[in-house]
């Protein structure tokens, strides 16, 4: 999958006609300069377009409708440079469906104490102008992020950048199409969910296809193309004792799967080892390489994690560190340093590999197919988040745990799958207690470049519940937070 096309953000400055023509020209110049600074900021991954100065209710309503109607617009950054009486904003904001960031800034940084006069005061009024605007946004219940500080401050630009990444993820979710080969693993609860509600809330659609359709696409792949991909495997990985026939089968599966996803415009997919029709192996290296190219994936029919993996990969675009579908697999309950060993049967994304992956073949004890080819590696160390999307019946909950991925204390020569070892915050017992209390699933997305703030912004703009487990989590307070959330969400 090629890099997602970045959408754009619109920068809008509110003012009014009270001040006369000359100050309005100055407001426009200032807004243009701020928009250009945001546009050029390395921390902000999306282009920022100056959309002019709005002075009347009609202009504001027209602009909000234009934003909703423009496929390229992923969100609005608004700012009341001068006082912008906010009843003018009601109609526009009430109908707006794009994410909103309220940048509470001021064109001027330091006050010119000895020079300050009423002209200066009248041109640098966002301290009260933005209060008027925020009042109406709160009164209307508009979900938004508020960022406060001077527009040249790197910390301000970083926060706008995190929100921009969330808006990009939401924008992607709006058009994301997930293909599900077969259903979910029989009798499993947590990979089920309300696909209609997911489309309403988050935008992505999930459609089932027979795995036979995929198998047909795989069988139609030309031998010459398989030759080429097998050569690429040998070039890119250390291929360890994989029989040529099995490697060719794996390559054919990758080409068939890749072609199926491209032809259908799918950005994420699921499969299940229980339903493989006449595919020779459970897709392993194919899934791993597709994830590395940006596709979302969820095993055992887990469409929620497949969609979340894709959304996270878009949010992380251009940042180092990688992200992957993941599963809490087994624990090291050492008294002094308990850790999680995360892995899956096969499907871990090589974007998180510490070193060049080895291409290996080993038996899979379930599924009844030929031994699957897979990439084996250790995940690199570093700070990361583990995120999951679960369906509680009346709402979706985005559950996030801050973790520290560490080097395994010893080599794992007999483990035939890619893996990551991490220390959850605040520690394994409290993190797992909170995770279980929140009803969190075993499937997650592990992402290094992502932080809680970006996911919180995403939850805010999609109006889904966010619950965070971090260094400050105490399980008994956490349990109360879940109860408060229950009351909040059940009243909506
Ligand atoms: Mn699994």
Beta bridge partners of 396: 391
Contact 296, 306 (CB under 8 A): yes
Bridge partner list, 390: 397
Residue-wise pLDDT for 215-228, tens only, equals 999 999 999 999 99
Taking only the tens place, the pLDDT of each residue in 19-42 is 788 888 999 999 999 999 999 999
Distance 349 CA to ligand 1 centre (A): 14
Quick one: DSSP state of residue 281?
S
d(C-alpha 24, C-alpha 55), whole Å: 9
Rounded to the nearest whole angstrom, what is the distance from the C-alpha of residue 380 to the centroid of ligand 1? 21
Q: Which of these, 364, 188, 367, 183, lies nearest to 273 by C-alpha position? A: 367
User: What tens digit of pLDDT does each residue of 447-479 get?
Assistant: 999 999 999 999 999 999 999 999 999 999 999
**Does position 492 have pLDDT exceeding 70, yes or no?**
no
Say if residues 151 and 38 touch (Cβ distance below 8 Å). yes
Distance in Å, CA 456 to ligand 1 centroid:
26
- How remote is the CA of residue 299 from the centroid of ligand 1, in Å? 6
- Cβ-based neighbours of 175, under 8 Å, separated by 6 or more: 203
For residue 459 the two structure tokens come to 């939850």
Cβ atoms within 10 Å of 57's Cβ, excluding its own: 15
The residues, ordered by sequence, that sit 6+ positions from 187 with a Cβ below 8 Å of its Cβ are none
Residues 196-230 as b/e (b if ≥16 CB within 10 A, e otherwise) read: eebeeebbbbbeeeebeebbebbeebeeeebeebb
Query: How far apart (Å, rounded) are the C-alpha atoms in residues 135 and 85?
Result: 11
Tally the residues of the chain. Answer: 492
Residue for token pair 């109609």: 91
- pLDDT at position 491, please? 65
Ligand 1 mean position to 321 CA, how many Å?
23
Q: How far is the CA of 264 from the centre of ligand 1 (A)?
A: 25
* pLDDT averaged over every residue in the chain: 96
Tokens 């999951």 sit on residue:
388
Q: Is the confidence at residue 365, as pLDDT, over 90?
A: no
Coil, helix or strand for 463? coil
pLDDT in tens, 91-116: 999 999 999 999 999 999 999 999 99
Confidence of residue 122 (pLDDT cuts 50, 70, 90): confident
pLDDT band of residue 2 (cuts 50, 70, 90) is low
Domains of the chain: 8-174 (3.40.50.10940), 176-490 (no CATH)
């Amino acid at each position: 999958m090629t890099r997602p096309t970045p959408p754009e953000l619109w920068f809008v400055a509110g003012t009014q006609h009270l001040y006369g023509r000359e100050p309005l020209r100055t407001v426009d110049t200032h807004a243009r300069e701020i928009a250009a600074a945001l546009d050029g900021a390395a921390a902000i991954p999306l282009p920022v377009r100056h959309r002019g100065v709005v002075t009347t209710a009609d202009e504001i309503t027209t602009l909000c409708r234009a934003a909703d109607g423009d496929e390229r617009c992923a969100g609005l950054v608004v700012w009341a440079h001068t006082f912008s009486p906010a009843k003018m904003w009601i109609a526009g904001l009430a109908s707006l469906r794009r994410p909103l960031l309220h940048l509470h800034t001021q064109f001027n940084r330091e006050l010119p104490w000895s020079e300050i006069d009423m002209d200066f005061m009248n041109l640098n009024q966002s301290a009260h102008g933005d209060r008027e605007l925020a009042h109406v946004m709160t009164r209307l219940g508009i979900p938004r992020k508020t960022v406060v500080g001077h527009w040249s401050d790197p910390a301000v630009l970083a926060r706008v950048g995190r929100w921009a990444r969330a808006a990009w993820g939401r924008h992607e979710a709006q058009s994301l199409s997930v293909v599900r080969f077969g259903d979910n693993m029989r009798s499993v609860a947590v990979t089920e969910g309300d696909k209609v509600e997911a489309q309403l809330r988050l935008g992505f659609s999930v459609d089932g296809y027979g795995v036979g359709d995929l198998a047909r696409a795989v069988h139609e792949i030309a031998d010459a193309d398989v030759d080429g991909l097998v050569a690429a495997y040998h070039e890119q990985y250390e291929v360890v004792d994989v029989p040529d026939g099995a490697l060719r089968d794996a390559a054919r599966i990758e080409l068939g799967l890749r072609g199926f996803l491209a032809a259908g415009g799918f950005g994420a997919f699921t499969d299940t080892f229980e339903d493989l029709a006449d595919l020779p192996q459970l897709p392993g290296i194919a899934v791993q390489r597709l994830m590395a190219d940006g596709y979302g994936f969820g095993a055992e029919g887990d469409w929620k994690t497949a969609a979340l993996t894709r959304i996270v990969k878009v949010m992380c675009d251009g940042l180092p560190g990688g992200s992957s579908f993941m599963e809490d697999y087994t624990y090291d309950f050492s008294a002094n340093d308990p850790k999680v060993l995360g892995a899956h049967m096969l499907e871990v994304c090589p974007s998180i590999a510490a070193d060049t992956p080895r291409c290996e073949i080993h038996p899979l004890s379930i599924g009844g197919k030929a031994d699957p080819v897979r990439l084996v590696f250790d995940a690199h160390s570093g700070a990361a988040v583990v995120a999951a999307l679960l369906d509680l019946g009346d709402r979706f909950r985005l559950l996030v745990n801050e973790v520290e991925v560490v080097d395994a204390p010893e080599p794992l020569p007999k483990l035939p799958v890619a893996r990551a070892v991490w220390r959850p915050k605040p520690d394994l017992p409290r993190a797992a207690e909170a995770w279980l209390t929140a009803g969190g699933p075993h499937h997650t997305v592990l992402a290094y470049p992502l932080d809680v703030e970006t996911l919180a912004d995403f939850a805010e703009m999609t109006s889904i519940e966010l619950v965070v487990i971090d260094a400050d989590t105490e399980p008994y307070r956490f349990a109360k937070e879940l109860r408060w959330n229950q009351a909040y969400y059940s009243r909506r």
